[in-house]
Chains A and B, each alone.
Chain A
Amino acid sequence: MARMNMIEAIRDAMDVKLGQDDDVVVFGEDVGYFGGVFRCTDGLQRKYGKSRVFDTPINESGIVGVAVGMGAYGLRPIAEVQFADYVYPAYDQIVSEAARLRHRSHGQFTSPITIRMPCGGGIFGGQTHSQTPEALFTHVAGLKTVLPSNPYDAKGLLIASIEDDDPVIFFEPKRLYNGPFDGHHDRPVTPWSKHALGDVPEGHYVVPLGEAAIRREGSDVTVLAYGTMVFVAQAAAAETGIDAEIIDLRTLLPLDLDRIEASVKKTGRCLIVHEATFTSGYGAELSALVQETCFYHLEAPIERVTGWDTPYPHAQEWDYFPGPARVGAGLKRVMEA
């Protein structure tokens, strides 16, 4: 067991797979010699050579396009998109190509590729270094979407994603890279070295895709969260004294609906939180599913606390971010209804 932050855990996952499987390759902008702008691939080129870990031109459609071709050949590419905000030029290659290749070729060709991308706000990244566009991917048939909240899960989920024979969109909440940030931006963040989920086993292990985790057991209300919002929800529960059951979804698709259903049927209330915009966000899907599976157990309308329907702003970053105060107010609304 080692103490790792999320960057080290993600790097370790790739290190393990590069070491185990000659078909694994890693590439993206600045990932080679330099080791990535967030250092997630630091040292991997030195260890595995330039033909397995390398820099690409600033052309995301090309990054994913060549990954699809490599996957069709039989490799298992890990492509890094430097920020989730930069993924849009690659959207056609992801949606029309990677996601559908198995289906349209009746299994002759597949896309066992993992597309990693840092997401989320909190670093004053403005509208082009802050987004979490998960709903654009969960909406697409043929993609799996993963969004870990801590080093242990990040490593295990990334290994599971790399080993998965279908394309996986792997979001990395960049505000969590160094510690469990709970939305109190004016306070220092506890480093992962002081958090239980910073204990990361060495070598190979997986956290299976499609399994949620309960981060806090409770009886008053179920909170559905993922990524940074898991810790924001924990802070909000502590500060309001509401006995919330907080579920960390970890994988958005496939979704662990059984665990969600069991919890909401137990508490009778549900709050959904995410950092992305409200309208047509993944929270809308979660809300519909909870309504469809738990309607007769609900004692209050389902609430959503999310980012506003605006571009992610720079100076107003903390006004946009759904921090503990807003999540706490959401908890109270759903309890008082």
Chain B
Amino acid sequence: MTYYKPLSLYVPEPSVRPGDKPDFSKFAIPKAGSVRRPEIDVSEEEIRDLAYGIIRVLNRDGEAVGPWAGVMDDETALKGLRYMMKTRAYDARMQKAQRQGKTSFYMQCLGEEAIAVAHQMALSPGDMNFPTYRQQGLLIAREHPLVEMMCQIYSNSGDVLGGRQMPVMYSSRDSGFFSISGNLGTQYVQAVGWAMASAIKGDTKIASAWIGDGATASNDFHSALLYASVYRPPVILNVVNNQWAISTFQGIATGQSVTFATRALGYGLNALRVDGNDFLAVYAVSKWAVERARRNFGPTFIEWVTYRVGAHSSSDDPSKYRPLDESSAWPMGDPIERLKNHLIVRGVWSDDRHVQLDAELHDEIRDAAKEAESHGTLGQGPAPSAKEMFEDVFKEMPPHLRRQRQQMGV
């Protein structure tokens, strides 16, 4: 009789935990400029290797190199720097407001600013993002009013969502920002549907879908890839791989040593993997994918490689599950520093101007926060009415809801 050893279950573990030395030695980073730039009508089979590489433009000396360079003029780059710095200043202020008890919850995008900001700058008015909760840069790069964003964070009387949504779950049709659900993954396949609608109507608008590394494990991620591969609508499928899903490292989402970009290959989708902390790379690849979608060549799947420098949210403490200094060991640097250095190398920026801009933005954010707080903060001052609860459940309030509202006396 054949003897079989008792089976045992394999559970992936990250290579380091709190107290260990951060270790990115196995993380292969191709040289800036080394990944080729295909034509936008390229077939999926011709670029499978791009799902394993990393497209990078900025080298260590702050120079833009290789086939993806040369896309961005000075003015656009300076604007991008400003939006990234504004996003960071906004985050710092709102994080502090949460700590001061002015709201219940906050989520920063510290270290990931380049992705949303540069991507938005590659899109056009009328296009629609289906974001997750760490893409506030999309709104800031669209110059969405800061006070309006802050009023949402404070759930105050100025909140355009009437206090119904948790902080950071923004929605703005006018700014091309679909309502954030908070249910991870659901928006990914909705973006595909929106893009299908654009194609059905013979429109030229495109959709951009967002998801984190952790939520690529969700059903709707796979539904989205499936529908995108079947109907080839004008959609960009973004994965922001910031290495951590709350406390869960990415081995739990992937199950094996593959890149997230390779997830798309089985669906026959064009996939690219990009340095998400390289503003020029994010912009150049976004432009490529946008043009591809708008010219009806179909979806592009993009893995943006980055690192979540901050905690998952104001309710999270990363020192409990990863080395404290892991973020400073992250080998791809800080997106703002990298763009700043590049612009100095370009000769259009300086340290002094950088400090000056930072102070300017700090004042702008402070003034906006003061104005937002004049409309109340969570639990303090003017607040959305209880009546808000009963409205917009349906377009017209049915009798049972009217009775309940009367019962509540509002």
What is the interface of chain A, defined by CB distance below 8 A to chain B?
22, 25, 51-52, 56-57, 59, 61-62, 65-70, 72-75, 89, 92-93, 96-97, 101-110, 141-142, 144, 164-166, 210, 253-255, 257-258
The answer to whether B220 and A109 touch across the interface, beta carbons within 8 angstroms, is no
Q: How far is the CB of A322 from chain B (nearest CB, A)?
A: 26
A289 and chain B: residue at smallest CB distance = B400
Q: How near does chain A come to B208, taking the closest CB pair, in angstroms? A: 12
**Nearest chain A residue, comparing its CB with the CB of B219:** A61
Q: Which residue of B lies closest to A57 (CB)?
A: B226
Residues of B within 8 A of A (CB): 128, 130, 160-162, 164-165, 169, 171-173, 178-179, 181, 183, 186, 189-201, 207, 219-220, 223-224, 226-227, 230, 392-395, 398-400
Pick the contact of B181: A22, A74, A97, A141 (CB < 8 A).
Answer: A97
Residues in B whose Cβ lies below 8 Å from that of A22: 201
Contact flag A109-B171 (CB < 8 Å), given A59-B226, A102-B395: yes
Cβ-defined contact, A109 with B178, below 8 A: yes
6 residue pairs from A and B, CB less than 8 Å apart: A25-B200, A51-B199, A59-B223, A62-B223, A164-B395, A210-B399
Q: Once bound together, how far apart are the Cα atoms of A333 and B160, in whole Å?
A: 55
CA distance A108 to B179 in the complex (A): 8
B197 contacts A75, C-beta separation under 8 Å: yes
The winner among A61, A66, A75, A253 for most chain B CB atoms within 10 A is A66
Cβ distance A294 to chain B, nearest Cβ, rounded Å: 15
Q: Are B191 and A69 in contact (CB under 8 A)?
A: yes
Q: Determine whether the beta carbon of B193 is less than 8 Å from that of A66.
A: yes
Question: With the chains together, A264 CA to B399 CA distance in Å?
Answer: 19
Q: How far is B220's CA from A92's CA once the two chains are assembled, in angstroms?
A: 10
Question: Would A57 and B230 be within 8 Å (CB), given that A102-B392, A102-B395, A106-B392 are in contact?
Answer: yes
Chain B residues contacting A57 (CB-CB under 8 Å) are: 226-227, 230
- Give complex CA distance A164, B396 in Å: 10
Q: Judging by beta carbons under 8 Å apart, are A72 and B194 in contact?
A: yes
Chain A nearest CB from B128 CB (Å) reads 8
State the total of A-B contacts with C-beta under 8 angstroms: 141
CA distance A102 to B394 in the complex (A): 7
User: Which chain B residues lie closer than 8 Å to A254 at the CB level?
Assistant: 398-400
* Least Cβ–Cβ distance between A148 and chain B, in angstroms: 19
Q: A62-B224, A72-B193 are in contact. List 12 more A-B contacts (CB 8 A).
A: A22-B201, A65-B186, A65-B189, A72-B190, A73-B198, A97-B181, A103-B392, A104-B164, A105-B173, A107-B392, A108-B173, A144-B394
Q: Closest residue to B189 on the A side, CB-wise?
A: A65
Smallest beta-carbon distance B231→chain A, Å: 8
Q: How far is the CA of A39 from the CA of B224 in the complex (A)?
A: 28
In the bound complex, CA of A89 to CA of B392 (Å)? 26
B237 to chain A, nearest CB (A): 13
Which residues of chain B are near A109, meaning CB under 8 Å? 171, 173, 178-179
How many angstroms between the C-alpha atoms of A336 and B186 in the bound complex? 53
- Contact of B224 with A65 in the complex, beta carbons under 8 Å: yes
Q: Determine if B186 and A92 form an interchain contact, defined as CB atoms under 8 angstroms apart.
A: yes
Q: Return chain B residues, CB-CB under 8 Å to A72.
A: 128, 178, 190, 193-194
The smallest beta-carbon distance between B293 and chain A, in angstroms, is 15
Residue in contact with B200 in the complex, picked from A51, A56, A67, CB distance below 8 Å: A51
Residue contact A104 to B171, C-beta cutoff 8 Å: yes
A66 pairs with B395, CB closer than 8 A: no
Complex alpha-carbon distance, A107 and B200, angstroms: 24
Contacts of B181 in A (CB 8 A): 96-97, 104
Contact of A106 among B162, B223, B400 (CB under 8 A): B162
Chain A nearest CB from B123 CB (Å) reads 16
Bound-state Cα–Cα, A67 to B193, Å: 6
CB distance from A98 to the nearest CB of B (A): 10
User: Would you give the shortest CB distance from B97 to chain A, in whole angstroms?
Assistant: 22
Tell me the complex Cα distance, A69–B201, Å.
Answer: 14
Residues of the A chain whose Cβ atoms lie less than 8 Å from the Cβ of B169: 104
Residues of chain B within 8 A of A106, CB atoms compared = 160-162, 164, 171, 392
> Once the chains are docked, how many angstroms separate the CA of A73 from the CA of B196?
9
B residues less than 8 Å from A93 (CB atoms): 186, 189, 220
> Chain A residues near B178 (CB, 8 Å)?
72, 109
Contacts of A255 in B (CB 8 A): 400
Q: Which residues of B contact A65 (CB under 8 A)?
A: 186, 189-190, 192-193, 220, 223-224, 227
Q: How far is the CB of A193 from chain B (nearest CB, A)?
A: 36
B161 touching A257, Cβ below 8 Å: no
| A70-B193 in contact (CB<8A) | yes
List residues of chain A with CB within 8 A of the CB of B173.
Answer: 105, 108-109
Tell me if B164 and A103 are in contact (CB < 8 A). Answer: yes
Please give the distance in Å from A113's CB to the nearest CB on chain B: 10
Instruction: Tell me, in angstroms, the Cα distance from A97 to B130 when the chains sit together.
Output: 13
Q: Which residues from A are CB-within-8-Å of B171?
A: 104-106, 108-109
Among B223, B226, B399, find the residue whose CB has the most chain A CB atoms closer than 10 A. Answer: B223
User: When A and B form their complex, which 6 residue pairs have the shortest distance between CB atoms, in order from nearest?
Assistant: A69-B193, A66-B193, A65-B189, A62-B223, A73-B197, A69-B190
A66 pairs with B192, CB closer than 8 A: yes
The CA-CA distance from A93 to B169 in the complex, in Å, is 17
Q: Are A97 and B190 in contact (CB under 8 A)?
A: yes
Looking at B191, B195, B197, B226, the one whose CB has the most chain A CB atoms below 10 A away is B197
Q: Determine the chain B residues whose CB is within 8 A of the CB of A141 once the complex forms.
A: 393
Q: How far is the CB of B407 from chain A (nearest CB, A)?
A: 12
- C-alpha gap A93/B195 in the complex (Å): 17
Bound together, the chains give a CA A110 to CA B393 distance in angstroms of 10
Q: Which chain B residues lie closer than 8 Å to A92 at the CB level?
A: 183, 186, 219-220
Q: Are B160 and A69 in contact (CB under 8 A)?
A: no
Question: Cα distance A107–B174 when bound, in Å?
Answer: 13
Give CA–CA (A108, B170) in the complex, Å. 11
Q: Quote the shortest CB–CB distance from A293 to chain B (angstroms).
A: 11
In the complex, what residue of chain B is closest to A58 when comparing beta carbons? Answer: B226
